[in-house]
Amino acid sequence: MASDGININQIRKYLTDREILTPRAYIAKTTGKYADAINKQFPSDWNYSTVASVLRNREYCGHIISQKETTQSFKCKKTVFRPKAEWVTAPNMHAALVDEITFDKVQSFIVVKHRENKSNINNIFAGMIKCGACGYGLSYTSPHQRTNTGTFMCNLYRQRNRAHSCTSHYVTYRSIYDTVLDRFQRLSAFMEAHSGDLEVFFNQFLQQGSEMNSQSKRQELDRYQKRVRDLDSIVRKIVEQNALGTLTDERFAILTTEYEAEQRDLKDKIEKLQALVNRKRDSLQNAGHFLNAISKYKDITELDVSTLHELIEKIVVHEADGVGKARTQDIDIHWRFVGILPDK
């Protein structure tokens, strides 16, 4: 259900309405364990966190994952969660209930926060569109009276409250939709014309796309590292302002908490991105996964959430050049398995 684009709340309601037992209630019924701890009046009352934990559990792919938890110290036995980087995974230890490709597709979908908009329009690109300059997401605005399409704009530009702002990166929903659908159709047509020949795809797309991906990742890495340096400078300045008495302790605490949280997030992104830059990917294997996925959409005429998350990691929008009919704007599609592909 999640891989088809159905969100967690809808899945929770589906299971509850059909009186399907929750995991703990099922264990209590079949083994007697937890019998005193379950809600006996509502044993099929699923909650959001239970559905989410099932969908995020990689052990359903056939692996055993350990070292998720530890204790605070040898004196304090309170359980604390370890960072994911410290988890230990033993792969292929039992029969998989879900394949890795489907699992990864679902992870990209369920992390998106689904917010209602004023027009109650289904924004199928929620969480996927990123700013080409600062890396922030582009937020969606519903159509107003003068237009018949929604619009996207850089979130950092909207905030206008940080030391370094951004530009609008304004783009319409219709432009994104038409661009993505066109590239879907052209890729599908190309592969159908060449009978899904992996070697042709490699020669025509992946060799050139490999350099484009490396360049894109290096630029993204440089941007994150620059922002970390900027934050170091900002924190030093507010420490000085606080010491001189020009910044209150309360305001100082709020600002440092905000900037330190952003730094931690950036350093995590830098670590993951550096690993991608340094790692040699098996291009042919990934190309095979991509071709198998896109072959299902050779007759595609419209987009939906499931299709997008099956084949696209993110969509990066760059600032436009020119105005009116002379206006042009680059939109990079980062495909799953293969990254950016040349626009042919």
The structural domains of the chain, with segments of one domain joined by +, span 129-340
Lowest mean pLDDT of 31-35, 54-58, 101-105, name the range.
31-35
Give the mean model confidence (pLDDT) for residues 64-86: 80
> What pLDDT does 219 receive?
76
- Asked whether the predicted pLDDT for residue 275 surpasses 80, the reply is no
Q: Tell me what the pLDDT averaged over the chain comes to.
A: 82
> What pLDDT does 205 receive?
65
Q: Cα–Cα distance between 108 and 335 in angstroms, integer?
A: 13
- Tell me which of 155 and 208 has the higher pLDDT: 155
- Tell me which of 153 and 264 has the higher pLDDT: 153
- Asked whether the predicted pLDDT for residue 117 surpasses 60, the reply is no
pLDDT digits (tens, 9 = 90+) for 290-303: 877 887 887 889 99
Q: Cα–Cα distance between 131 and 157 in angstroms, integer?
A: 10
> What pLDDT does 119 receive?
58
pLDDT digits (tens, 9 = 90+) for 138-158: 999 888 766 678 899 998 888
Q: Yes or no: say if 152 and 145 are a contact pair by the CB < 8 Å rule.
A: no
- Tell me which of 60 and 162 has the higher pLDDT: 60
> What pLDDT does 81 receive?
80
- Asked whether the predicted pLDDT for residue 285 surpasses 70, the reply is no
Q: Cα–Cα distance between 269 and 280 in angstroms, integer?
A: 19
pLDDT digits (tens, 9 = 90+) for 163-172: 557 889 999 9
Say how many C-beta atoms besides its own lie within 10 A of residue 127's C-beta: 15
Q: Is the Cα torsion angle 242, 267, 51, 29 positive or negative in sign?
A: negative
**pLDDT above 70 coverage of the chain, percent:** 83
Give the mean model confidence (pLDDT) for residues 260-281: 72
> What pLDDT does 319 receive?
92
Token code pair at residue 227:
């922002």
Token code pair at residue 229:
């340096």
The residue assigned the tokens 């969606």 is 140
| Burial status of residue 243 (CB atoms within 10 A of its CB: 0-12, 13-18, 19 or more) | exposed
Q: Yes or no: say if 264 and 257 are a contact pair by the CB < 8 Å rule.
A: no
Q: In whole angstroms, what separates CA 160 from the centre of its chain?
A: 24
Lowest mean pLDDT of 57-66, 139-148, 198-207, 321-330, name the range.
198-207
- Asked whether the predicted pLDDT for residue 213 surpasses 70, the reply is no
320: left (phi over 0), alpha (psi -120 to 50) or beta: beta
> What pLDDT does 169 receive?
92
Lowest mean pLDDT of 104-113, 121-130, 137-146, 209-218, name the range.
209-218
How many helices (H) and strands (E) the chain has is answered by 11, 11
Q: In whole angstroms, what separates CA 184 from the centre of its chain?
A: 20
Give the mean model confidence (pLDDT) for residues 20-43: 81
Q: In whole angstroms, what separates CA 54 from the centre of its chain?
A: 18
Give the mean model confidence (pLDDT) for residues 204-226: 69
> What pLDDT does 196 receive?
66
- Asked whether the predicted pLDDT for residue 63 surpasses 90, the reply is yes
> What pLDDT does 50 receive?
92
110: left (phi over 0), alpha (psi -120 to 50) or beta: alpha
- DSSP string spanning 138-197? EEEE---TT-SS-EEEEHHHHH--SSS------EEHHHHHHHHHHHHHHHHHHHHHTTT-
Lowest mean pLDDT of 11-20, 103-112, 175-184, 202-211, name the range.
202-211
